[in-house]
Structure 1
Amino acid sequence: MPPATLDPVASAAIITRAREGRTPRPLDFPAGLRPRDAAEAYAVQDAVVRARGEIAGWKVGAASPQAQPARAALARDSVWVAAAGEAVALSAAGFAVMGVEAELVYELGADLPARATPYSAAEVLAAVVSVRAAIEVCDTRFAAWAQQGEWSRLADQACHGALIVGAGVTDVAAVQPLAQAVTLSVNGAVAVQHATWGNPAGDPLRLLVWLANEGARSLGGLRAGHWVTTGSCTGTVLVAPGAEVVADFPGLGQAVLHLP
């Protein structure tokens, strides 16, 4: 007998209610509502973000330069763009877990809607109007961190908590990510530092092209004004309430986050 078809809306409601504090956080989805593959995980994830509201951006990453990328759509209520030279302050009470990562974010200035003909790398890059330093806060709607299977974590917006977009550059062609240094500091002390690109996915342009051609299709494609963060350059560093986090990409920009 074939397995029952997953109801992604019912699955999404489990973690939506937990995020809103209406029900206790589960350890995982109930067995009958647990995604069994990437397609089911994305269907749940899409239902989660539709319930949250307008899409403001995306996260995309891969385990290696050859690995299949994965993505999550980010709702407006979890994306924060800092004013020039300023920090973003987010209450630590709003997170169950605070894992911080230094990332590069690409700002889109043109729509890249789903279409039959794949976008070329040149077309995708031409739609980018700035590259910024960013901090992603990783979080979970489950009762314990990283205790679920990969499809449950992917369904939970790939463990997204918040995206803080900092300073950057508009000369997109001049950005050389594979040669880009990065430092992630917590409370004034260096937590992680790389002299060159620390992102295991390799060239982020591959991720952007995959997102435009495949990853964003189910939600209508990429739009002008979306922010696309292309994965951690530092790994995930768990921090405590009260932390000040700085992601510094020398020659490009900084993002600063306070977690009172």
Structure 2
Amino acid sequence: MEDIAAALLAVRAGGPPIPVADQAARHLNLDEAYAVQALVAPRIGPIGGWKVGGGPQGTPIWAPIFKADIVGDGADLERAPGAMVGIEVEIAFRVGRNTGAMHISDTDPLTIFSSAHLVVETVESRLERPTEAADGWKLADNQINGGLVIGDEISGWRETGLEHQIVRLAVNGRTVLSERRGNPGGDPLELLRWAARAGAGHCGGLAAGQIVTTGSLSGIQWYRAGSQIRAQLPDLGASVALDL
């Protein structure tokens, strides 16, 4: 897996994306993809969060989001002119305390999370044609995560149904999405329970202060660098804005 990790690191350092032909020549299973993540992560920097979602066989999967790629509401990401950036509107959760090797019972896994937030995840890959890439390659590439913009806190999240929400998305002042959407990975709180039980099993596991995403409510939407993005979950009173 060292060669694939080295290739991904080379792209992060400014090299061209990994060609489709190279991807096709190498099948990666779930364990191999996680092994690549574990090789890349310590060479990039601290982990500030996790991308959690439903996997291709119905089993949840997760991938690190690096601390340097997580910013606050209203951020200007200053992407290269002409670049196309994917965005996903999601609900994410702040880890309130370290899990370490602690046992989390079936009845209390959500107690480690302190708050919920509306976020926008950017989709930016180290792979050529990332949306067409095999599942193992996407997972090795941290599930093609680019970064995270953290918006408003969502109050009462433990008692509120989060799985289906009205999602509003405006780009450069024009509404491009306004409808009720569901999370393809299912109930976000069930994904959180899975992540909490996974504990310290991968790349250090969950740690206090990290943010955990739980799947896109909007699907991937692609926009050019320089676009102004605003997302809302009106029923939850939450919004988030960013410039690409």
Does structure 2 conserve the Cα–Cα contact (< 8 Å) formed by 1:88 and 1:258? yes
* 1:38 and 2:30 correspond: yes
**Separation in structure 1 between the aligned mates of residue 55 and residue 175 of structure 2, nearest angstrom:** 24
**Separation in structure 2 between the aligned mates of residue 101 and residue 179 of structure 1, nearest angstrom:** 15
Unaligned runs of 5+ in 1: 1-7
Pair 1:181–1:100, CA change in 2 (3 A): same
Partner of 2:217: 233
Partner of 1:4: none
Partner of 1:19: 12
Shift in Å, 1:37: 0.4
Partner of 2:208: 224
Does structure 1 conserve the Cα–Cα contact (< 8 Å) formed by 2:109 and 2:197? no
User: Could you list the per-position Cα deviations for residues 17-74 of structure 1 after superposition, in whole angstroms to 9, with x for gaps in the alignment?
Assistant: 11111x332214847994520000011012222211111000111169x921111111
TM-score, normalised via structure 2 length: 0.89
Point out the structure with the larger strand share: 2
Equivalenced residue count is 243
Partner of 2:45: 53
Question: In structure 1, what residue type is equivalent to 2:209?
Answer: G
Q: Look up the SS of the partner of 1:181 in the other structure.
A: strand
Unaligned runs of 5+ in 2: none
- Structure 1 stretch 28-37 or stretch 150-159: which is displaced more? 28-37
What does residue range 14-163 of structure 1 map to in structure 2 within 5 Å?
14-21=7-14, 23-28=15-20, 30=22, 34-62=26-54, 67-82=58-73, 87-93=74-80, 97-115=84-102, 117-120=103-106, 122-163=107-148
User: Could you list the per-position Cα deviations for residues 136-169 of structure 1 after superposition, in whole angstroms to 9, with x for gaps in the alignment?
Assistant: 1101112333232111111001010111001113
* 1:247 and 2:231 correspond: yes
TM-score, normalised via structure 1 length: 0.84
Q: Look up the SS of the partner of 1:112 in the other structure.
A: coil
Question: What's the RMSD between the two structures over aligned residues?
Answer: 2.5
- Structure 1 stretch 240-249 or stretch 173-182: which is displaced more? 173-182
Does structure 2 conserve the Cα–Cα contact (< 8 Å) formed by 1:96 and 1:140? no
Q: State percent identity of aligned pairs.
A: 31
Q: Look up the SS of the partner of 2:125 in the other structure.
A: coil
**Separation in structure 2 between the aligned mates of residue 50 and residue 123 of structure 1, nearest angstrom:** 30
Pair 1:154–1:180, CA change in 2 (3 A): same
User: Could you list the per-position Cα deviations for residues 166-214 of structure 1 after superposition, in whole angstroms to 9, with x for gaps in the alignment?
Assistant: 111353324320353221222222222333x421112111111111223
**Separation in structure 1 between the aligned mates of residue 81 and residue 51 of structure 2, nearest angstrom:** 20
